[in-house]
Structure 1
C-alpha cells in the first residue's frame, strides 16, 4: 500500500513538473505575442506591406503555438484532476486539490490573456487595413494623375456649374 502511494505521488509530481514547464513556456510565448501585437501598429504605417505580411505570418504562427501549449496544459490539468479524484489518502487529496486549482487558475489566466491579446491584434490589423485603404485613396486623389481623377474633376466642375 505504501508503494502504491509512493508511485502515485511520483506520478502526480511528474504531472506538476510538466504543468510548471508548460506554464513557463506559455508565459514566455505570451510576452513575445504581446510585444508582437504592440509593435504591429507602430511599424505597419512606416514599414509597408511586406513587413505587415511577415508580422501577420508571425502572429498566426505564434497563435497556433500558444493554442497548442494551452491544449497540452489543459490535458495535464485533466490528468491531474483524474488522479486527484481517485486518490485514496484524504490529506494527500486535499493538497492535490489545492495544487490542481492553482494550475487551473493559471491556465484560465493565460487563456484569457491570449484571447484578449489576439482580439486586440485583430482590431489593430483591421484598423490598419482600413487606414491603409483610406491613405491610398487620399494619395491617389492628391496625385491627380489618374483617369479617374480627371473624370472626378470634370464631374465636380459640372456639379458646381449646375448649382
Structure 2
C-alpha cells in the first residue's frame, strides 16, 4: 500500500514538474511587458515543487526507516516467542544456529568496516600527495618572494599548533575510550 501511494505521489510530482515546464514555455513566448510577474510566479511554483519533492523524500525515508524498524522488532518478537515455545534440544540447536548467523553477520560487518577504512586510507594518501605538491609549489614561491615566505612560516606555525592540539584531543579520546571499556 505504501509503495503504491509513494508511486502515485511521485507521478503527481512529475506531472507538477511538467506543468511548470509548460508554464516556462508559455512565459518565454509571452509578451515582454508582463514577463517579470510571470517569471516571479514561475519561480515561486518551481520553489514550491522543490519543497514538495524534498518533503516527500524526507517523509518516504522516515516511513521506510519506521517499517524496517517494525520488521526488525517483529522478527525479534517472533524469535522470542518461538524460543519460548520450542523444546529444550531444538532451542539449543536453534540457539547455535542463530549464534552462528550472528557471528557471520558480525564478520561481514567487520569486513565492510575494514574495506571502508582501506578506502579512506587510500583517499587520505592521495590527498596527502596533492597537499605535498601544493606545499612544494608554495615553498618555491616563498623562496622567490620574501613576504610570502614569512606568511608561509606563520601558517606552518599554526599548522603545527593545530596538529599538537589535534593529537592531544585524539589521545584524550583514546584514554577515555580505554577507561570506558575497562569500566
- Normalising by the residue count of structure 2, what TM-score does the alignment of the two structures yield? 0.48
Deviations 1:108-141 (A, max 9, x none): 1111111111001110111111111111111111
SS in 1 for 2:19: helix
Distance 1:132 1:146, change over 3 A: farther
Distance 1:152 1:127, change over 3 A: closer
Q: Compare relative contact order (CA 8 Å, sep 6+) and give the higher one, 1 or 2.
A: 1
Count of residue correspondences? 96
Alignment pair present for 1:64 and 2:7 = yes
Deviations 1:59-81 (A, max 9, x none): 11211111111011100100111
Alignment pair present for 1:82 and 2:21 = no
Shift of 1:94: 0.4
SS in 1 for 2:67: helix
In structure 1, the residue matched to 2:78 is 136
RMSD: 2.2
User: Where do 5+ consecutive residues of structure 1 fail to align?
Assistant: 1-57, 154-163
SS in 1 for 2:10: helix
Q: Which structure has the larger Rg? A: 2
Shift of 1:148: 1.7
Distance 1:70 1:152, change over 3 A: closer
Q: 1:110 aligns with which of 52, 55, 76?
A: 52
Deviations 1:31-85 (A, max 9, x none): xxxxxxxxxxxxxxxxxxxxxxxxxxx2112111111110111001001111212
User: Where do 5+ consecutive residues of structure 2 fail to align?
Assistant: 96-183
